[in-house]
Amino acid sequence: MINKIIIVTCLFLSLVGKTYAQGTWTRKADFPGGKRIAPLSFSIAGKGYMGCGWDSLYQPKKDFWEYDPVTDTWTQKADFGGGNRVYPVGFVIGNKGYATSGSDTVSYFYSDLWEYDPVNDTWTQRANFPGIPREDPVAFAIGNKGYIATGVDTNFINQNDLWEYDPLLDLWTEKDSLPGPGRVDATGFSIGSKGYVGFGEGGSSGLLSDFWEYDPGTDSWIQKASLPAAIRDEATGFSIGTLGYAGTGGEGGPFNDFWEYIPTSDMWVQKAYFGGSARGTAGSFSIGNKGYIGLGYDVFGGTNDFWEYAPDTLTSISENKIDFPVSVFPNPFATVTTLRVSGGFQNISLTIYDAMGQEMKNMKNLSGPDIELHRDNLPPGIYLVRLTRDNKTIATSKLIITD
């Protein structure tokens, strides 16, 4: 037996449908080092770290600060080992932080690598980054390896190369370059065993919205869903559990929109707008199940406010537990599609959300080999389907409706 689910979009649903899982922003203690643009940022073992960057007079800085989310306090730590620096990047492997690249804003672009030990509050120089010296690349870590990609060199040529760092060997290895044009001011983070890079400024290609997934196991890139928002550079991003987050941005804006990326569905869902002013070149990191964004520049110049993001529960449906993969065919579709899982459906609830996280329809007690889904009045676009049983998420999938 095939369950026929007719999804009707009408005024009643638009009035009663709730905005689900937008998350909450809470302002925390301001960064005590003063207003700062293009800082270094990462987190280690329950503490966040920010420093370097430009101050309000556009002077490069080397100070470095630790944030404790339990006490909502900042403590100054040892200055960055590489001296004054703007647009550096960092990643974390185990209980150590690593920082590289950036410039002194005058004429020198750096390729030195520094390891930060939070226990001893010390910086130790490691093997120099072997790529072209640059500023404003992206950085992320996967397992026990760190990665640096993209950025702009001293000749203002954008790069798209990717390098892997092994801290045990203190060794860099060049990997498969990011497809497409070289770019600067991109955004990067990692989720599980994959890395993600996107957006930024692509030279003659202009501002970009494309988004790519890197698999270190195969040393290859796969293009993913583009950010469904205004193109931009100087955005910031982080991951919490199995989900990625990106938002804000400078050129083309500034922006304060904020988005969640669901890798299992290859879908972006808009979340609550960033709590501070629209801005670019902010710092960010995550600690536990919270994300943090602060500093950067807005229309008035540098900022030093600092904000905590707490996800709610749509896709923080967090993909708590995926019991089985769901097939959707055809997808994209214009009129009707079919959902199928091995063994069929039994007492399943199905909820559909639009790309803004708005609940469009909820159907309960579905059973049978397939679910036939009719488009009816839904406009073209990207939708998220969530399947639950006993209030537990068992599968999610992306739907694409076309004309």
Please report the pLDDT score of residue 286 as a whole number.
98
What is the DSSP-derived secondary structure letter of residue 193? T
Interatomic CA distance for residues 200 and 209, integer angstroms? 7
Three-state SS at 106: coil
Please report the pLDDT score of residue 11 as a whole number.
27
Q: How many residues does the chain have?
A: 403
Q: How far is CA 80 from CA 77, 133, 368, 373, in A?
A: 9, 18, 61, 56
Contact assessment for residue 7 and residue 373, using Cβ atoms and an 8 Å cutoff: yes
Torsion sign, CA atoms 261, 267, 273, 277:
positive
Q: How far is CA 190 from CA 147, 221, 235, 275, 292, in A?
A: 10, 13, 15, 24, 16
**If phi over 0 gives left and psi between -120 and 50 gives alpha, with beta otherwise, what is residue 334?**
alpha
**φ and ψ at residue 204, rounded to 5 degrees:** -65, -15
| Residue stretches of the chain with pLDDT short of 70 | 1-21, 313-324, 356
Please report the pLDDT score of residue 352 as a whole number.
86
Interatomic CA distance for residues 260 and 273, integer angstroms? 11
Torsion sign, CA atoms 239, 241, 244, 245:
negative
Contact assessment for residue 375 and residue 352, using Cβ atoms and an 8 Å cutoff: no
Task: Kindly report the pTM of this predicted structure.
Answer: 0.80
Please report the pLDDT score of residue 356 as a whole number.
66
Contact assessment for residue 81 and residue 94, using Cβ atoms and an 8 Å cutoff: no
Please report the pLDDT score of residue 15 as a whole number.
27
Angle in degrees, CA 276, 281, 283, rounded to 5: 70
Query: Which contiguous run of DSSP H or E holds residue 11?
Result: helix 11-16
Residue type for 215, please? D
Which among 246, 283, 201, 247 is positioned nearest to 37, based on CA atoms? Answer: 283
Residue-wise pLDDT tens digits, 98-131: 999 999 977 789 999 999 999 999 999 999 999 9
